[in-house]
Structure 1
């Protein structure tokens, strides 16, 4: 699906200033100024999925700011779908100029050969990187190269259903809770009532707690699984302790929370851009800081950084870089925080404090909870890491059902992942 939009844009880095020359006119004593109007430029823009930048957010954060600042460019919003997935566009040699992706898509985009180090362009155009939180840029650099700039962060928190806590008379969760605390609350909320199985808590997926401990999936030098460790054993046992609470058997975490509404708490990344949809307006919810391991208090999973980059096939790299510079500017980031609920990667307290200020949806919500925890160091997933994650998904349920112990689980994951990694590296 594509949406063509006209937005204003200037050539070069001058912020929209146009030059001109003065020449005498045919009428004596008059001077006519000829303005150098920049040539029209067309760019294509594609997020990896709708949730990364919905079309209305694209209008608000890209189209409108650029209309105000720059003239004469057409930007086409290309939604991934049948025939327009990034693989399709690469095959058709029609890769969009601007691409939005998340940490889990890096290796896909890298292997498709569409990324480029934007550092020379950043230096040439004097893009101010000092506005970003230092750890943010450190976490997206790969071997010193910068392939993108972040425009949003998926901060982690506990989202909880106020109605279910009120229904069962359980105190609302608070920031600073440990996983042991969450287990106790989950036991009180997991019950069968009114012909409905209510569940207490779910985390996102079957490696999330290890991710929170910054545990490596693979040895990058040996290209082998590193899953058989005390750290992973601790993570798997804690996950099982949550998933085997009677009545709290694992389902679909996010869908159970805001569609079925039978889940009292979900530990998740930023759900606000989804919860602002009309169909979820009746859900009464609030947030608390993400739970942590007692040995690492107030440490949440790494932040999922949403990144925007320039494809290496673009014919207009400087114009594309101006779009990125404006999207990640303090002015537009404040609009994003206030109006879309996206946490900003900028080192700017005002942007942080005004999160959701213009959104009726989150007025009165404890939005400071997003910042009550510190994110664990980020992990730039390699293909080998993704192979290990798939092996975890493959065997974890068998472990949590009680048919194998944790050491057998880690052995099976390691063997399966190493086989997949071997196939991957011998292609």
Structure 2
């Protein structure tokens, strides 16, 4: 997918877009410490006794200035003996080539769960290291974490990193369209059936504009789907889309709300676009989309819209189970010569101090602490929106493993969505066709 970070309420909530969903904002370096334990996992009082240079690689398209705003300034205040060296991405040189050249050092790798398994990332090139022993050595209490933020990385084969921020799917809506057609606004706790009924009422033509009731970011939705379906069987390295659960997911969350008279015109107009169905521009610029499920973020692009947000709808048989979590992590690389110092840095970003300010400035904490959650969004322009309920109303769905081939599934289903919605194919055929194409790509990629 086209990758879409946010900082002090601006730059780091940008980050969710860059990493396709990492969320949060960077605390100011002079933030007063909140109460925490003395174990180094709750307190920000990490210690590095001797000067050391640590090299950081961020797998998002951020600048060194953004890196310093998000992380470097906080480290400088709390760990003055650590000099943070930013390793910029080079669009002409892959990460594997950078490492194999022997000229690039990386101690801490920063990435989201949606990217970490993809081709050319940390796990793919073997820079990962299980942190279990380091976690024990540094007395990090894993019970403080929202469990799914750890499970999301553990299902990849080990505790390769610790989460520092989180994100999830929520439902945005344009209040003006609801008002125009006299339809009540979405509520937290809706089912997918409720959304489909609402979408049908809102998919209509008015004043020369074709409005549609609902759309989504297919890539994000499949990656974080609430049924916790793996895009690829990590053992067999094949897609297995011809199952009842996959049919249920596509039928209930895509076909029912979108296969509505009037949607056809919009679909036909989008066939030259990579996303195929209405997406961010249609919701925020053209503004002919009433509801849009998307990653939680700062939504600066929607600031002049009359909008709000609700919790992601749920399946009737899985009430209050939303999308999977979408954490971002700090990883200590297997090649780092300063693993203990790197762990001290990570302890800063999982501390109550950092996570409290992250929460206040609109980032989703990775901790279970209810007091920190209650501070969510209190220091952002979004504090008058329904963001706290939208983010925390549902529990996170169990984590599904991510693989280097996940984008093949996203591309395959996206390629079938238009003929499916136009009635040119049926669901069984669409999933079978997508599966055959995906498996051919995987086979060619692994030969």
TM-score (norm 1): 0.81
Q: Write 1 or 2 for the structure with the bigger share of strand.
A: 1
SS where residue 166 of structure 2 aligns? strand
SS where residue 42 of structure 1 aligns? strand
Q: What are the Cα deviations for residues 24-57 of structure 1, in whole angstroms up to 9, with x where unaligned?
A: xxxxxxxxxxxxxx23x2223233225xx88777
Equivalence for 1:103: 113
Equivalence for 1:245: 260
SS where residue 282 of structure 2 aligns? helix
1-structure distance, mates of 2:308, 2:233: 39
Say whether the 8 Å CA contact 1:61–1:336 is kept in structure 2: no
Q: 1:221 to 1:17 in 2, by over 3 A?
A: closer
Say whether the 8 Å CA contact 1:153–1:306 is kept in structure 2: yes
Q: 1:81 to 1:342 in 2, by over 3 A?
A: farther
Equivalence for 1:46: 57
Equivalence for 1:374: 395
Structure 2 gap ranges (5+): 1-28, 31-39, 268-276
Say whether the 8 Å CA contact 1:95–1:311 is kept in structure 2: no
2:172 matched to 1:120?
no
Equivalence for 2:26: none
Equivalence for 1:296: 318
Please say which of residues 185-194 and 173-182 is displaced more in the overlay: 185-194
The runs of 4+ residues in structure 1 deviating greater than 6 Å are 53-57
2-structure distance, mates of 1:295, 1:379: 19
Q: 1:81 to 1:191 in 2, by over 3 A?
A: farther
1-structure distance, mates of 2:105, 2:305: 39
2:187 matched to 1:187?
no
Map residues 306-325 of structure 1 onto 2, 5 A cutoff: 306-325=328-347
Say whether the 8 Å CA contact 2:213–2:257 is kept in structure 1: no
Q: Which of 246, 260, 265 is the matching residue for 2:291?
A: 265
Q: Deviation at 1:375?
A: 1.9
SS where residue 383 of structure 1 aligns? coil
Q: Deviation at 1:178?
A: 1.2
Say whether the 8 Å CA contact 1:175–1:289 is kept in structure 2: yes
SS where residue 362 of structure 1 aligns? coil
Equivalence for 1:222: 236
2:398 matched to 1:383?
no
2-structure distance, mates of 1:261, 1:56: 33
Please say which of residues 284-293 and 83-92 is displaced more in the overlay: 83-92
2-structure distance, mates of 1:260, 1:323: 44
Structure 1 gap ranges (5+): 1-6, 19-37
Equivalence for 1:15: 46
Q: Deviation at 1:82?
A: 2.8
Q: What are the Cα deviations for residues 333-356 of structure 1, in whole angstroms up to 9, with x where unaligned?
A: 1111111x1111101001111111
Please say which of residues 347-356 and 70-79 is displaced more in the overlay: 70-79
- Structure number with greater Rg is 1
Say whether the 8 Å CA contact 1:78–1:84 is kept in structure 2: no
- The root-mean-square deviation of aligned C-alpha atoms, in Å, is 2.9
Say whether the 8 Å CA contact 1:218–1:384 is kept in structure 2: yes
SS where residue 114 of structure 1 aligns? coil
Say whether the 8 Å CA contact 2:152–2:325 is kept in structure 1: no
Size of the aligned set, in residue pairs, is 389
Q: 1:360 to 1:399 in 2, by over 3 A?
A: closer
